[in-house]
Amino acid sequence: SVCGKKFCSKEYLKKHLLAHTGEKPFKCPYCILSFNSLVIKNNHAIFYHEMKPYLCLSCGKQFDQKFWLNHHLSTNQGHTDQEQLVKSDGSLQNSN
């Protein structure tokens, strides 16, 4: 026992021990970073690397969900309600 914490399963203990060993077995498939938690690795990949297909034509900001683009448009004066989707090859496609 390193810190004295008790866990109800060996799996939880095993995950917790990664915090003490410094081991980071979960590697990001897009960059050189590694993480001690699968959840943190997945959050990193989504936030930093995943495609954000909804594009604001007024400022160029991209969003992963149409809801967030619409929210952005409604809270930024002067932004139009036009939107385009960014295709997987990086080209633009009208969403209308």
pLDDT digits (tens, 9 = 90+) for 6-59: 899 998 888 888 888 889 999 988 889 999 999 999 888 888 887 777 888 888
- Segments making up each domain of the chain, as ranges: 54-94
Q: Which amino acid is at 14?
A: K
- Residue tagged 């809270």 (tokens): 75
Q: Widest CA span of the chain, in angstroms?
A: 59
- Work out whether strand 54-56 and strand 83-86 pair parallel, antiparallel, or are unpaired: antiparallel
List, in sequence order, the alpha helices (H) in the chain. Answer: 10-21, 38-48, 66-75
Can you give the pTM of this predicted structure? 0.47
* 51-68 pLDDT per residue, tens: 777 888 888 888 878 898
- Residue tagged 């399963």 (tokens): 9
